[in-house]
Amino acid sequence: MADKANVTNVESLERFRSSLVIFVEKISVVLDEVSEEVKRTRVWLQSEQRMKLDHVMKRKQKELDMIQQELFTARMSNLANVKTGHKMKLNNKRREMREVEGKIRAVTTWLRNYDSTVETEARKVDKLRHFIDTDMIRALHFLAEAVKNLHAYSNPGQS
């Protein structure tokens, strides 16, 4: 049995450690972006998208009221060709309002299901974040110590 191990290539371990440091930095940035995007999406659903659709719905309702008033006026004046055009406008506006109502229902459904779908997946990101912040950092420290010890072992007089 040999009295001394033959340590010849500590540089490979140093390169691996350097690559691991770069990986940890990049993955941390990506995980931060994912977490922020999850938050932004919730805010978008809760406020921005809902307010926008409510505003569109109010505007469409005003337009519908105006078309109904014009149709009522046309009926009172007994203009058949005007009534047909107003009926078409009225039907189109009602269809547009149903579309907006469908979008509002979709946003409400997305928001209701947000915790069970998106947040469940976001927890996986949090677990990965914990792994990166604890285990990978410990691994980096271990590799640094291993490199230091191997250098000291292979060059005993230079320490």
Are 71 and 90 a contacting pair, CB within 8 Å? yes
Separation of alpha carbons 156 and 26, rounded Å: 36
Per-residue pLDDT of the chain (159 residues; tens, 9 = 90+): 456 666 677 888 899 999 999 999 999 999 999 999 999 999 998 889 989 999 999 999 999 898 888 888 877 777 656 677 778 888 999 999 999 999 999 999 999 998 899 988 999 999 999 999 999 999 999 999 999 988 888 777 665
Put simply, whether the predicted model's pTM sits higher than 0.85 gets the answer no
Cβ neighbours of residue 119 closer than 8 Å, sequence gap 6 or more: 38
